[in-house]
Amino acid sequence: MTFRISALIVLLNLGLFANAQLEQTYEHVGEYGVSVGLGHYFGDLNSNAAINHPKFAAGIFYLKQLNNYISIKAAGNYTFLGYSDTYSKDANQRIRNLSFDTDVWEVSVSGNFNFFKFYPQIPEYRFTPYLSVGIGAINFNPYTYLNGNPNKYYLRTFKTEGETTPYSPYALVVPIGFGLKYNLTNNVNIFGELLYRFTSTGYLDDVYGTYAGSDAFKTSTEATQLLQDRSYIYGVSHKAGVQRGNGKTDSYATLQIGVSINLDANGYNCPTY
């Protein structure tokens, strides 16, 4: 009995020693990967932050590990966003009758902080939660459909709030997120990540300020007249200066799962015992 206990202690110590040696000599270079999931818009048409109409999202990334806890990630993401006043429980908002869809293309650079050490070759360090914060840029171009017409009407060019020039199709974003990562094999990880983006634009949905009024569109095309105030289907027409949007910037979030590959498996500085 005493021999068995002694042998167990020796084996345990050998295992701890091996892990300690591996930890001291191991270098996690970084990762590259892909992810897919859902995205959701928050803004003038969804001012109560309801999560009821998510749409497709996907991304790719390269991550450079700087030390045991901190890494830098360069990412490219695509998110399809859209919403409609018809989803609202508020009668006035349903009468406003606005809707949009847009493709959002995003590039970003962020810093990641691991809660735990992440060493794919060591069982005790195969899992970590992490936080991330970064900065990026997006390209967007909201569109809608009119009276059952299958054609897309790209709203930016119609200047629906009476803008002198169309608003920019580009904006800055600040992505802030939380994720969980687990190493399946020495080379392959899986993860789940929630990212919320603050943006510098209020026009993801083509809605920001006030109505320009029908007089501002007298010489415009019929489509422009109909798109600037879509309450006409309820027999309502808004005067110039009446609130159309809330004057705040829009935001969106994504929830994705993905797979990443650890870089340069042959370059790990592993001991030879």
Can you give the pLDDT at residue 264? Answer: 67
Q: What is the C-alpha to C-alpha distance for residues 217 and 225, in angstroms, rounded to an integer?
A: 6
Can you give the pLDDT at residue 10? Answer: 40
Q: What is the pLDDT along the chain (273 residues), one digit of tens a residue?
A: 554 554 444 444 444 444 444 444 557 899 999 999 999 999 999 999 999 999 999 999 999 999 989 999 999 999 999 999 999 999 999 999 999 999 999 999 999 999 999 988 788 999 999 999 999 999 999 999 998 889 999 999 999 999 999 999 999 999 999 999 999 998 999 999 999 999 999 999 999 999 999 999 999 999 999 999 999 999 999 999 999 999 999 999 999 999 999 986 444 444 333
Can you give the pLDDT at residue 148? Answer: 83
Residue range 26-267 forms a domain whose CATH class is mainly beta
Coil/strand/helix, residue 185: coil
pTM of the model: 0.87
Can you give the pLDDT at residue 2? Answer: 56
**pLDDT tens figures, 56-104:** 999 999 999 999 899 999 999 999 999 999 999 999 999 999 999 999 9
Can you give the pLDDT at residue 26? Answer: 57
Each domain of the chain, given as residue ranges in start order, spans 26-267
- How many CA atoms are closer than 13 Å to the CA of 14, on its beta-carbon side? 7
Coil/strand/helix, residue 14: helix
Pairing of strands 30-42, 127-139: unpaired
CA distances from 24 to 137, 266, 270 (A): 39, 17, 9
Can you give the pLDDT at residue 80? Answer: 98
| Nearest alpha carbon to residue 44 among 202, 171, 212, 155 | 202
Neighbours of 232 (CB within 10 A): 14
